[in-house]
Amino acid sequence: MMTDVRITGGCQCGAVRYALLEEPSGPHICHCRMCQKAFGSFFAPLAGVSLEKFDLTRGELAIFKSSDQTERGFCRNCGTPLTIHDVDSKRIAVSIGSLDEPQKVEPAFQCGIEGRLPWFGKLSGLPGDLTTEADNPDLAQQIAASNHQHPDHDTTSWLPRGT
Ligand SMILES: [Zn+2]
Ligand SMILES: [Zn+2]
């Protein structure tokens, strides 16, 4: 028996949650300048599903139209970039980083490479370290005790905090 696909995700504060009801396809990173701005990052990690397989399970998407063709959905409360939808398309892409298990959706290609930052290829070779609080148990405890981020799974009720 096939089990129904249900892949969940949401914003940092937990005001917006969604579920994908099919395996996302075409996972990629987009280096275009619009995605850089929208994500405040070097690229946008995206994967798509059919519109009818995208289920908004909590809250609402705020929409910024970065062009007449493109609606970018985000959480109005915490600002997490969540979706990209071309108005004429029957598909919607979600930000891979907003999935509860982003490690399961590995990018398969890049696009917008004309916008790719010149040092992008060097990033994975940079010196690495654990989070700054890893060697500071007191600070780690303070952060854990006052964590306002929604956990990486659905919750039956949730009151966004931190604003
Ligand atoms: Zn939020
Ligand atoms: Zn882009």
Per-residue pLDDT 10s for the chain (163 aa) are: 667 999 999 999 999 999 999 999 999 999 999 999 999 999 999 999 999 999 999 999 999 999 999 999 999 999 999 999 999 999 999 999 999 999 999 999 999 999 999 999 999 999 998 876 777 888 888 888 889 999 999 999 999 998 8
**Among all ligands shown, which has an atom nearest to the Cα of 14?**
1
- CA of residue 136 to ligand 2 center, whole Å: 38
- CA of residue 68 to ligand 2 center, whole Å: 15
- CA of residue 33 to ligand 2 center, whole Å: 7
pTM exceeding the 0.85 threshold for the entire prediction:
yes
Of 21, 28, 18, which is closest to residue 5 (Cα–Cα)? 21
- CA of residue 118 to ligand 1 center, whole Å: 32
**Among all ligands shown, which has an atom nearest to the Cα of 74?**
1
* Gap between the Cα atoms of 23 and 47, Å rounded: 9
